[in-house]
Chains A and B, each alone.
Chain A
Amino acid sequence: MNFQFLLSLISAVFIGGVAGYLGSLMITKRMGLVGGPLGHLALPGVALALVYHFNVFYGALLTIIVGGILIWLLEIKTKAPIEALTGLVFASGCALGFLILPFSDEHQLEEALIGDITKISFSDTILTIILCSLIFLIIRKIYSKLVLTEISEDLAKTEGIRVKKYNFIYLACIAIIVALTVKLVGGLLPVALIVTPSLTARNFSKSSFQYSFGSLIFGVISATFGIFLSQITNFPAGLLIILSGFLIFLISIIFKKS
């Protein structure tokens, strides 16, 4: 097992686990699909990063945040339905991404779309570990508050929960995690890392604890599987992680709790 392989394995495990954990909350809040458009929003940033040779994560995070603010501003200005505006902004983001991408070389186009973790640097691995640990701790702290908000916002507010503040923290965590997943699975597929582990964990869980930590564990398992399979087959790791996750989900249906 060489050092580079170890770095990609560690990064994938951290990203996969925390994306799964956060995903369980996103599914609870019926926001599972948000990972899709956000990932696409990352594309122009990824493209810029590849053309100008800076860290893909920063590029992705930059355009996700810019896109998010744009959607928010457009909503205030136009009062149009937010999902339509999200559609508008993420499709435009995608288009812009594809305009910039040809300026990078061909292999990089693939990296932007489906990710490449196998060449992750030591410093990026450290960054990934720190960010993932931080987000895990933050989400663990606000998890139950956000679940109560989902049950009833009025109830949460009477319990003294500052709903707007926690929603903001939650959305910031999503932006960072999606930007991290882009490294692993590219701009097209982050949604898979977010929803698949939780869907699997749901089949085994009766409590919120089992569900949230189950999602984390299934995220870790899929990531580990994918990375090892990629090592053996030489296929892109991101794709194999997603397909491993899907396979595990299918198996979990057989054991689904009654």
Chain B
Amino acid sequence: MEETILKVKNLNVKFGEEVIKNLSFEVKRGEFLIVLGPNGAGKTTLFRALLGLISSSGEIIWQDKIPKIGYLPERLSQDKFKNLTITIKEFFHFKENSDEKIFSILKAVGLEPKEILKKNPGDLSSGQFQRMLIAWSLISEPEILFFDEPATGIDVGGEETIYSLLGKFWKEKNLTILLITHDLDIIYKYATNVLCLSKKGFCCFGPAREVLTPKVLEKIYGTGIKFYEHKH
């Protein structure tokens, strides 16, 4: 039995109205937890509360001490980088001074360091940019990763690369991953557990194949949408 790395008990977040209400769940070390739900269900808010970026009530209990965290926020804007005079190398130097480490992590995500290190992050293609951000979040060797829709705005082929990269690092580095995505394919492929939220609040928690029944999916996304499990 794997140890619990994070325990959430009766978590509540209010922005005027309640966005997250009495949410409880646990994350075990080495788990790949996917958070699923329609826009406005509070997925990003949940991440931000867990990371201590917004105030919340209830309990967020980390095992022993807060572990090393890597975070990739939703839609980190490439345009923002375009307006800054900064190279990819300098962006990595925020976290890591060893050029050797930067080289190897960039290679690991399929980027050619020599070609890109002197470029502005805003000049990369959207797929390259997202892979660079994954490398950036991994370079400090975190134990737990929070990825908020890391493949938004990338074409289908690129999306697959992003997720297979995440899957690869998850296995190789024995990471704990919390991922927000809408992609059911990914859920069935990687998720050890899913946490589903709907606009009305908590919906389901557990292994995808057990908890994602058509009825639950209907509850999350409303009627009229059908999802099919892909068998691989």
Binding site for B on A (CB under 8 A): 28, 144-145, 147-148, 150-152, 154-155, 157-159, 202, 205-211
**Whole-angstrom CA separation of A206 from B81 in the bound complex:** 12
Q: Which residues of A contact B93 (CB under 8 A)?
A: 144
Q: Which secondary structure dominates where chain B touches chain A? A: loop
The contact of B84 among A145, A151, A159, A210, by CB within 8 Å, is: A151
Q: Which residues of B contact A158 (CB under 8 A)?
A: 51, 53, 69, 71
Q: Which residues of A contact B85 (CB under 8 A)?
A: 28, 202, 205-208, 210-211
Instruction: Please tell me if the beta carbons of A148 and B94 are within 8 angstroms of each other in the complex.
Output: yes
Contact sample, A vs B, 5 pairs, CB 8 Å cutoff:
A157-B53, A207-B85, A207-B118, A208-B90, A209-B90
Number of interface residues, chain B, beta carbon within 8 A: 21
| CB of B124 within 8 Å of the partner chain | no
- Closest-CB distance, B147 to chain A (whole angstroms): 12
| CB of B152 within 8 Å of the partner chain | no
B85-117, CB < 8 A from A? 85-87, 89-90, 93-95
Closest 9 CB pairs of A and B: A211-B85, A158-B71, A208-B86, A207-B87, A205-B85, A208-B90, A154-B73, A148-B94, A154-B53
Instruction: Please tell me if the beta carbons of B84 and A28 are within 8 angstroms of each other in the complex.
Output: yes
| CB of B230 within 8 Å of the partner chain | no
Q: What mask results when residues 63 to 89 of chain B are scored 1 for a CB within 8 Å of chain A, else 0?
A: 000000101010010001100111101
Given contact pairs A158-B51, A206-B120, a sample of 10 additional A-B residue pairs in the complex whose CB atoms are under 8 Å apart? A28-B85, A151-B80, A151-B84, A152-B73, A158-B53, A159-B94, A205-B85, A206-B87, A207-B90, A208-B85
**Whole-angstrom CA separation of A210 from B86 in the bound complex:** 9
Q: Which secondary structure dominates where chain A touches chain B? A: helix
**Whole-angstrom CA separation of A209 from B120 in the bound complex:** 13
Instruction: Please tell me if the beta carbons of A207 and B73 are within 8 angstroms of each other in the complex.
Output: no
Closest to B72 in A: A155
Instruction: Please tell me if the beta carbons of B118 and A159 are within 8 angstroms of each other in the complex.
Output: no
Q: Which residues of A contact B84 (CB under 8 A)?
A: 28, 147, 150-151, 208
Instruction: Please tell me if the beta carbons of A151 and B76 are within 8 angstroms of each other in the complex.
Output: yes
Q: Which residues of A contact B120 (CB under 8 A)?
A: 206
| CB of B48 within 8 Å of the partner chain | yes
- Closest-CB distance, A147 to chain B (whole angstroms): 7
- Closest-CB distance, A98 to chain B (whole angstroms): 37
**Whole-angstrom CA separation of A205 from B81 in the bound complex:** 14
Residue of B69, B76, B90, B94 with highest tally of chain A CB at under 10 A: B94
